[in-house]
Structure 1
């Protein structure tokens, strides 16, 4: 899976120093947030069938306007949102080993991804999102004050040949030293 299209890049440049280690670390973001926050929790926002974004369709080999299983959550440090997470699974993946994703509720997807040795992670890609990008617009619709641009990263996790695309949009809390 190659993701260097639609503005996604393999090596981010000019990332604010405090945010850089959050963005480029390939380990479990959930585990890092649990270590960083005194009160980590997952706040579910939306789950179910939805159209995959245009750039996601290309990466997941889906026809445009195709429905997929989509999960959106906020990863919270206490009452402060730290990350907006957006996961997309082609429907074939629900029968291909990913069926447990539909019942996560307020549990972290990251815990499952990094504890199952059958799941492999593809390369990370990065971009800054701003108004007009569906990820930015989803964040701006849910949070009162959002900077004009936010850093995001994404990668696919594969299980039994079925990709699950996970995108994480980093919110201002993690830009502080």
Structure 2
């Protein structure tokens, strides 16, 4: 049975618009490559892998990617740096079945930005962005907060699914307090 058959989309609670996102609003709604925008903003932009491993994704991620309960994915977590500090925590879910064909190299990116690959091909399709204010109860908040000083009340995040042919991956970007 597919996970999405038993998943309640009302539990998803990701928003269509980033309401009251203040200084992060322009970053959140950017439909183009976040990597390209960060490279323009920060001359010293770079990517630092935090964790890359195969595992079962979070329940809601698996449901949105139409994965079964037994499917595993490469979960890639990286920090995007600007001005010598982390500005975005990126969490990508790459189902094993999606790391074939044109996307076979995505499983071996190292410190290369995923966004540069995704936006290089006009054949890649992207779902509309969805937004969420992550609080301490969310797993991605807890992962992202490890890399910043202090403990903000919440962190803004956005996510979307990229597809090429029959392969899909999910990218979630968590905006850190150091982003200017």
TM-score, with length taken from structure 2: 0.89
Q: Which residue of 2 aligns with 1:13?
A: 19
Offset at 1:145?
2.2
Deviation per CA, 1:32-54, whole angstroms, max 9, x where unpaired?
Answer: 10111131000111112022012
CA contact (8 A) 1:41 1:78 kept: no
CA contact (8 A) 1:54 1:65 kept: no
Q: Which residue of 2 aligns with 1:126?
A: 131
Number of equivalent positions: 173
Question: What is the rounded CA distance, in whole Å, between the counterparts of 2:126 and 2:40 in structure 1?
Answer: 22
Q: Which residue of 2 aligns with 1:54?
A: 59
Distance 1:144 1:51, change over 3 A: farther
Pick from 5, 30, 42 the counterpart of residue 25 of structure 1: 30
Distance 1:41 1:111, change over 3 A: same
Pick from 34, 39, 43 the counterpart of residue 44 of structure 2: 39
TM-score, with length taken from structure 1: 0.90
Offset at 1:19?
1.0
State yes or no: 1:117 paired with 2:117. no
Distance 1:150 1:47, change over 3 A: same
CA contact (8 A) 1:96 1:162 kept: no
Pick from 55, 68, 77 the counterpart of residue 72 of structure 1: 77
Distance 1:121 1:29, change over 3 A: same
Q: Which residue of 1 aligns with 2:5?
A: none
CA contact (8 A) 2:86 2:147 kept: no
CA contact (8 A) 2:133 2:156 kept: yes
Distance 1:65 1:23, change over 3 A: farther
State yes or no: 1:88 paired with 2:111. no
CA contact (8 A) 2:161 2:168 kept: yes
Unaligned segments of structure 2, at least 5 residues? 1-8
RMSD: 1.8
Offset at 1:137?
1.2
